[in-house]
């Protein structure tokens, strides 16, 4: 059981209350206190003591759950820079909203320093949803199937190389803007959320330097069975997951359905990396920890 301080007692806290009670009743967490910007005397809310945020450092706790999106970055800065609280001790409230989340397994994943290799934005979106640092350059980028397979066949060599930008740009059909395309030796990297190629190179190198070679999960989505087969046959990776739009008998593959309003398969892949509409059709911790067969737990 983990001792938790919840920072924030506004609308998000009220929406989260039943979820908090669930984690308490299932003996996963113990709420030590609620932290607020203002506190008058010995106040309580829903049976929890309310403390002023400045008192957090005097309390015994394992993690802080930040119950706001609007002021999340401001709270992070105040906690880390102003109070000396470790960034790893702070969790966004959206983690508690992930269906079927086991808090202990989440902490295990959080502490495992997982690096995700992905052929589109799935890896970065998963890290955002879980509130964990992205320890991989494969964020906000995409590749052709063949270029991605080529990288995976010699990942160490490609990650030792530095990408270059010769000024090439390509239209991103999702954002309807031109984005830079980097060259990494003989493969192309489409930078989906960058406008400047030099900035994209800096971000690639910064994230590459954090890569954890001791804990890697490799993800791919594809609509082609031959690509799925080639990807899953790649040697050297203990943890692989492949999203496909058709039935597959391979244990590492998960079938996803396109929902209303989704025209392309990658939209289904990305939406299932978040919490919200058309999301989480699988147990994300089962996939990231590779604890059991990664089959759909529900079909919406």
Report pLDDT digits (tens) over 202-229. Answer: 999 999 999 999 999 999 999 999 999 9
- Domain-embedded: residue 188: no
* 144 domain-assigned: no
- Looking at residue 17, which CATH number applies to its domain? 3.40.50.720
128 and 76 part of one domain: no
> Do 126 and 224 fall into the same domain?
yes
> Do 61 and 130 belong to one domain?
no
Residue 280 is part of which domain span? 109-136+210-289
β-partners of residue 255 are 244
Give yes or no for residue 295 having a pLDDT over 90.
Answer: no
Q: Which residue has the tokens 């983990």?
A: 2
**Are the CB atoms for 137 and 211 separated by under 8 Å?**
yes
Structure confidence at residue 291 (pLDDT): 52
- Over residues 31-64, the pLDDT tens digits come to 999 999 987 778 999 999 999 999 999 999 999 9
CA–CA dist 10, 71 (Å, integer): 11
Both 252 and 117 in one domain: the answer is: yes
DSSP letter at 96 equals: G
At residue 154 the predicted structure's pLDDT band, cuts being 50, 70 and 90, is very high
Q: What is the pLDDT of residue 278?
A: 62
Measured distance CA(249)–CA(163) in Å, rounded = 37
Tell me whether residue 131 is in a domain. yes
Helix H or strand E encompassing 129: helix 122-130
Instruction: Report residue 6: phi and psi, to 5°.
Output: -100, 120
- 234-245 average pLDDT score: 93
How far apart are alpha carbons 171 and 181 in whole angstroms? Answer: 10
Judgement on whether residues 39 and 78 belong to the same structural domain of the protein: yes
Q: What is the pLDDT of residues 164-208, one digit of tens each?
A: 999 998 888 777 789 999 999 999 999 988 889 999 999 999 999
Q: Which residues pair with 254 in a beta bridge?
A: 243
DSSP collapsed to 3 states, 219-263: EEECCCHHHHHHHHCCCCCCCEEEEECCCCCCCCEEECCCCCCCC
Residue ending a domain, among 47, 66, 97, is: 97
| Total domains, the chain | 2
113 and 74 together in one domain: no
Which residues are within 8 A (CB) of 229 and not within 5 positions of it... i.e. 6 or more apart?
Answer: none
30 and 130 housed in the same domain: no
Determine, yes or no, domain membership for 124: yes
**Numbers of helices and strands, H then E, in the chain:** 11, 14
Give the pLDDT confidence of 65-112 residue by residue, as tens digits.
999 988 999 999 999 999 999 999 999 999 998 888 899 999 999 999
Q: Is residue 177 part of a domain?
A: no
114 CB burial (10 A radius; 0-12, 13-18, 19+): buried
Q: Do 23 and 90 have their domain in common?
A: yes
Question: In the chain, what percentage of residues exceed pLDDT 90?
Answer: 75
Q: Does residue 80 belong to any structural domain of this protein?
A: yes
Whole-number average pLDDT of the chain? 90
Contact 23, 103 (CB under 8 A): yes
Q: Is residue 6 part of a domain?
A: yes
Q: Are residues 114 and 250 in the same domain?
A: yes
- The answer to whether residues 119 and 254 belong to one domain is yes
Is residue 7 scored above 50 in pLDDT?
yes
CB 246 within 8 A of CB 255: yes
Domain identity same for 76 and 125: no
119 and 31 fall within a common domain: no
Question: Is residue 300 over pLDDT 70?
Answer: no
Residue 298 covered by a domain: no
- Which of 97, 118, 148 finishes a domain? 97
In this prediction, residue 42 carries a pLDDT of 84
Closest CA to 289 of 215, 195, 211, 210: 215
Predicted pLDDT of residue 164: 96
Considering 33, 66, 97, which residue would you say is the last residue of a domain? 97
Indicate whether 259 pLDDT > 90. no
């Amino acid at each position: 059981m983990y001792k938790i301080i919840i920072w924030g007692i506004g609308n998000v806290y009220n929406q989260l209350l039943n979820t908090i009670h669930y984690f308490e009743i299932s003996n996963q967490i113990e709420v030590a206190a609620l932290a607020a910007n203002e506190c008058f005397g010995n106040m309580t809310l829903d049976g929890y003591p309310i403390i002023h945020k400045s008192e957090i450092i005097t309390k015994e706790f394992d993690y802080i759950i930040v119950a706001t999106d609007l002021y999340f970055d401001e709270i992070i800065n105040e906690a880390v820079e102003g109070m000396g609280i470790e960034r790893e001790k702070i969790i966004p409230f959206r983690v508690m909203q992930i269906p079927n989340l086991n808090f202990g397994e989440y902490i295990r994943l959080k502490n495992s320093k997982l690096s995700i290799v992905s052929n589109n934005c799935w890896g970065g979106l998963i890290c955002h949803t879980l509130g964990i640092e992205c320890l991989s350059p494969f964020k906000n980028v995409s590749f052709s199937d063949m270029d991605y397979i080529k990288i995976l066949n010699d990942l160490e060599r490609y990650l030792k190389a530095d990408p270059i930008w010769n000024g090439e740009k390509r239209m991103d059909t999702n954002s309807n803007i031109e984005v830079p395309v980097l060259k990494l030796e003989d493969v192309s990297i489409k930078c989906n959320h960058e406008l400047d190629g030099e900035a994209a190179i800096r971000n690639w190198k910064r994230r590459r330097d954090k890569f954890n070679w001791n804990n890697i999960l490799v993800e791919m989505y594809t609509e082609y069975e031959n690509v799925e087969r080639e990807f899953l046959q790649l040697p050297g990776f203990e943890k692989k997951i492949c999203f496909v739009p058709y039935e597959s008998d391979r244990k590492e593959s998960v079938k996803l359905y396109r929902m209303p309003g989704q025209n392309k398969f990658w939209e289904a892949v990305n939406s299932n990396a978040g919490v919200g509409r058309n999301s989480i059709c699988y147990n994300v911790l089962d996939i990231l920890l590779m604890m059991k067969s990664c089959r759909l737990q529900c079909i919406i």
